Amino acid sequence: MIPILESAEVKDAEREGKPLVALESTIITHGMPYPQNVETARQVESDIRAADAVPATMAVLNGTLHVGLEDAALDALGRAKNVAKLSRADFAACMATGGTGATTVAATMIAARLAGIEVFATGGIGGVHKGAEVSFDISADLHELAQTRVTVVAAGAKAILDLNKTFEVLETLGVPVIAYGQDVLPAFWSSTSELPAPLRMDHAADIAKAHHLRAEMGIAGGQIVCNPIPHDAEIPSGDLAPVIAKAIAEAEAADIKAKDVTPFLLGRIFELTNGKSLVANIALVRNNARLAASIAKELRELSV
Ligand code: PSU
């Protein structure tokens, strides 16, 4: 038996056939500082409710996978220090040993599949880190997208990564990369990049239809929807490039490795931009949550 606990809100949604949107918790524990992390998590949940869908934030608390976090649990997680950052490799081990951990994109996709949720909103997926030809640092998020049938709405991959290599790997893995409403891929804090979008869709209904058809055709894996940050909230990539380069150089000098790299870089970029990166990050996550809710609603129509 898998120890899973659904919140009352998620149980009601399932009973009533309401569309659900999965949310991750690493963005809360490792992606943003307290208290903005908890405030953002609550705001994103209410954005999804306002769009007539139901949020299901995932986390492992004392060995149990929670699908939908009650307010107090969310607050405790947002304040906690040294929470594990769970991916495919350590998810079950954390549960087996009664541990507490936040779910990354990869782990949230697994959790969503277990709960029967097909759409998930986050900020930006993990990917191929710069210098990966030496470090081999490639996020497990990419392989999860190739295996687990969940449509992930993100503002692309985080711009701290080697975006070109990240999308090359997704292409190799056969993951549909869909830019929403534009011909180029977004770059997390910036709405555009120089990379052409492999696929473009302008309507949530089409994204839902493609998800549904892939299931009917027996094609494994999910889709990544790259939703550009709203223009009024973006930071031009030219402004960010030197900041990202500085943060990466500091990470190398401090010998930061593996799972610690992304949280370190996000934290430093927050400091170096005097908090502007966080304001943009919050805007893009909320934007992704709204699109995910529309896709989940369209998908519900197709499944009945
Ligand atoms: N989106 C954000 N902030 C984050 C993340 C996503 O806006 O911190 C998290 C996700 O959980 C993603 C993780 O899976 O960053 C990537 O970590 P890594 O590069 O170590 O795979």
Residues in the chain: 304
Distance, CA of 171 to chain centre = 19
Mean of pLDDT values over 273-283 = 97
Calculated CA dihedral for residues 31, 36, 41, 45, nearest 10 degrees? -140
User: Is 297 part of the annotated catalytic residue set?
Assistant: no
Mean pLDDT (the chain, rounded):
97
Q: Which residues contact 212 (CB under 8 A, 6 or more apart)?
A: 299, 302, 303
Return the ligand 1 atom nearest residue 87 CA: 14
Is the pLDDT score of 304 beyond 90?
A: no
- Residue of 9, 24, 118, 298 marked catalytic: 24
Task: Indicate the CATH number for domain 4-303.
Answer: 3.40.1790.10
pLDDT for 303 equals 82
Mean of pLDDT values over 93-122 = 98
Check if the beta carbon of residue 236 is closer than 8 Å to that of residue 1.
no
- Residue of 130, 158, 259, 297 marked catalytic: 158
Amino acid at 54: V
Is the pLDDT score of 221 beyond 90?
A: yes
User: Is 14 part of the annotated catalytic residue set?
Assistant: no
Q: What is the DSSP string of 131-197?
A: THHHH--B-HHHHHHHHS--EEEESSB-TTB-HHHHHHHHHHTT--EEEESSSB--BTTBS--SSBP
Cα–Cα nearest to 182, from 163, 196, 166, 162: 196
Check if the beta carbon of residue 227 is closer than 8 Å to that of residue 287.
yes
Is the pLDDT score of 279 beyond 80?
A: yes
CA angle 197, 40, 53 (to 5 degrees): 70
Binding residues for substrate: 85, 105, 139-141
Which residues are near ligand 1 (CB < 6 Å)?
24, 26-27, 30-31, 104-105, 122-124, 126, 139, 141, 259, 262, 266, 281, 285
The better pLDDT of the pair 303, 211 is held by 211
Query: Strand 101-103 vs strand 54-61: parallel, antiparallel, or unpaired?
Result: antiparallel
Q: What three-state secondary structure class fits 65?
A: strand
pLDDT for 207 equals 98
Mean of pLDDT values over 180-199 = 97
Return the ligand 1 atom nearest residue 281 CA: 7
Binding residues: 85, 105, 137, 139-141
Q: What three-state secondary structure class fits 62?
A: coil
Ligand 1 pocket mutation, candidates 23, 24, 60, criterion most atoms within 8 A of CB: 24
Is the pLDDT score of 211 beyond 90?
A: yes
Query: Strand 151-154 vs strand 223-226: parallel, antiparallel, or unpaired?
Result: parallel
Write the secondary structure of 104-121 as one string of H (helix), E (strand) and C (coil): CHHHHHHHHHHHCCCEEE
Cα–Cα nearest to 187, from 293, 65, 86, 277: 277
Binding residues for Mn(2+): 137
Please name the residue whose Cα sits nearest to atom 2 of ligand 1. 123
Mean of pLDDT values over 225-240 = 96
302 Cα–ligand 1 center, Å? 30
Domain ranges of the chain: 4-303
Return the ligand 1 atom nearest residue 188 CA: 7
Alpha helices in the chain (DSSP H): 8-16, 26, 36-50, 71-79, 91-96, 105-115, 132-135, 140-147, 163-172, 204-216, 237-253, 261-272, 276-303
Percent of the chain residues past pLDDT 90, beyond the cut: 99
pLDDT for 259 equals 93
pLDDT for 159 equals 94
Q: What three-state secondary structure class fits 288?
A: helix
